[in-house]
Structure 1
């Protein structure tokens, strides 16, 4: 027999996990469905040791620790969790409910919260001859374990938060870290950039752009760098190269669903209650767009209770929704 839920949260990243907890907090029957084998989304899959700085009250918490604490929080409430299960379709039924299809089962839900983040993501590649053949050997796009870089000379390419955070993290274990960016100003947090400038064993090379890459006999790499708006060129030899040029991402899976969701630049349009154009369907996190939105984990954490409160009022208009957690009894 198919189980009929009040809420189905699709996407088990940090924002989806918090939304599931908030559903349980208000005793809504909920299921959390995640396509990856484990909860945590990109934090778990790509950079578990990266420090997260945009969550209030948890300065510099590692991604793995944040996910672990979200799991502990989620364990307090009664929410069904399904991992390794990709949602293949969401069908709006005539009675206003929804049928959720995945590879191995079908379930019913009175409402849906989409928390897919950026969906499928791929790192922007280093466009130098030979770089593709070195991927996951000398050239890396993710730092899953900083111990893999211990005692080595590492160059980090990029100027955003990922590049700055990875450079700072690797400086703790590497022999030398060189951060290379094509501009003098960084797009990431200036505080972290200032911290890097003050660290021993860290060199900031700006504004330089890599032009060529060669593998040496000892398997080290020599980068040829050109200074922007100048004829100056430099050579840099390193053991490993970390490329942080950002990601290309999409939620193409949504296009295969029966729902006709309004979108803008491949992101789901929502209103102030995080409601989509389909009644009963809400969306939160980096998959959504509205004026003034900032793409931060903290933003998604704020969107989760807004969506859950709105859908609860829609499902149970007579129910009094306690706003503050101190008003609720938590075992």
Structure 2
């Protein structure tokens, strides 16, 4: 995984970005274009957010200019792009507080205080953890062939794999591993998928064995304690089937929550969104938000990387005018900006 440059700087910066996912990384690059000094804070030890933690080996198909790109490669390129302007990366730090100190904002982390003239919250889906099946007799196999989070393909080479779920993560991993694993069975408790329709159509054309209206009932270990069989059942008839497996991926979605951000005085929508206007401004002057964590006024949130990029650019341009009211919101095109 790409490593971001890290350096210490005790002085205030123009912009603190909370979150080093795609939105935060592009925001750091764009802030550099605007001549702003930047710190990027993230609780993870490496940049990339969900792309780095949840699916670095998965292809992404909706990034402009890339017919398809591995998530880890997109992270590498975003870090390279952001690093053109030498932002300060503060990784492995969890933002826990935000308060006003005279003309500055102070972002408190579990390792110190970072002061800035403006703040951009690009924390993705906030604090997240995988949904679990909640059955101890199944969860006991985590670490012995049961996976709730997958970050690489290597453990599944030539394995008999069972994938449980019907969302993008389940379908994408099935497609990603179909020529890597020995055999893949995907079960879903109903006949409607939450995954992208194009991906579902590709899944149905692939060699993946898909069983609809099926759920996982039990797992059986081999002599070494690792999973060797799965008991699945048809939830319409109750009929059970025992299938040989070496690994099980449970793709049951994630619980997302704003976490400490809820106590920062921001206007929120539900438990996972920060309310913003068209300028990506929050209700706190000089504090902006962009990406999956936002609920823009008047529209339904669209949790897409490309939307996060646009929102980050919007937020940074308005942050630049907040810092310097004489500055223009539209700074000119990037080729013109680079010539200055």
Residue 315 of structure 2 is aligned to residue 295 of structure 1? no
Query: Is the contact between residue 138 and residue 218 of structure 2 (CA under 8 Å) also seen in structure 1?
Result: no
Q: Classify the secondary structure of the residue corresponding to 1:21.
A: helix
Q: Classify the secondary structure of the residue corresponding to 2:242.
A: strand
Q: Classify the secondary structure of the residue corresponding to 1:329.
A: helix
Instruction: Report the counterpart of residue 87 of structure 2 in structure 1.
Output: 79
Match runs of 1:308-323 below 5 Å? 308-320=316-328, 321-323=330-332
Larger displacement relative to structure 2 (157-166 or 138-147): 138-147
Query: Is the contact between residue 129 and residue 212 of structure 1 (CA under 8 Å) also seen in structure 2?
Result: no
The two structures, once aligned, show a CA RMSD in angstroms of 1.9
Query: Is the contact between residue 128 and residue 213 of structure 1 (CA under 8 Å) also seen in structure 2?
Result: no
Instruction: Report the counterpart of residue 3 of structure 2 in structure 1.
Output: none
Structure 1 stretches of 5 or more lacking a match?
none
Runs of 4+ displaced beyond 4 Å: none
Instruction: Report the counterpart of residue 213 of structure 1 in structure 2.
Output: 219
Q: How far off its partner does 1:165 sit?
A: 0.5
Residue 181 of structure 2 is aligned to residue 181 of structure 1? no
Query: Is the contact between residue 128 and residue 211 of structure 1 (CA under 8 Å) also seen in structure 2?
Result: no
Q: Classify the secondary structure of the residue corresponding to 1:168.
A: helix
Deviations 1:28-60 (A, max 9, x none): 121111222111112112321111122122232
Q: 1:145 aligns with which of 148, 152, 159?
A: 152
What is the TM-score normalised by the length of structure 1? 0.92
Distance 1:244-1:323 versus aligned 2 partners, 3 A rule: farther
Aligned counterparts of 2:318 and 2:129: Cα–Cα separation in 1: 33
Q: Classify the secondary structure of the residue corresponding to 1:131.
A: helix
Query: Is the contact between residue 21 and residue 49 of structure 2 (CA under 8 Å) also seen in structure 1?
Result: yes
Aligned counterparts of 1:10 and 1:49: Cα–Cα separation in 2: 25
Q: Classify the secondary structure of the residue corresponding to 1:110.
A: strand
Instruction: Report the counterpart of residue 279 of structure 1 in structure 2.
Output: 285
Query: Is the contact between residue 292 and residue 301 of structure 2 (CA under 8 Å) also seen in structure 1?
Result: no
Aligned counterparts of 2:280 and 2:26: Cα–Cα separation in 1: 15
Aligned counterparts of 2:93 and 2:227: Cα–Cα separation in 1: 41
Larger displacement relative to structure 2 (98-107 or 176-185): 98-107
Residue 233 of structure 2 is aligned to residue 222 of structure 1? no
Match runs of 1:63-102 below 5 Å? 63-95=71-103, 97-102=104-109
Q: 2:265 aligns with which of 257, 260, 266?
A: 260
Aligned counterparts of 2:215 and 2:333: Cα–Cα separation in 1: 51
Query: Is the contact between residue 225 and residue 234 of structure 1 (CA under 8 Å) also seen in structure 2?
Result: yes
Larger displacement relative to structure 2 (270-279 or 187-196): 187-196
Instruction: Report the counterpart of residue 127 of structure 2 in structure 1.
Output: 120
Distance 1:330-1:186 versus aligned 2 partners, 3 A rule: farther
What is the TM-score normalised by the length of structure 2? 0.90
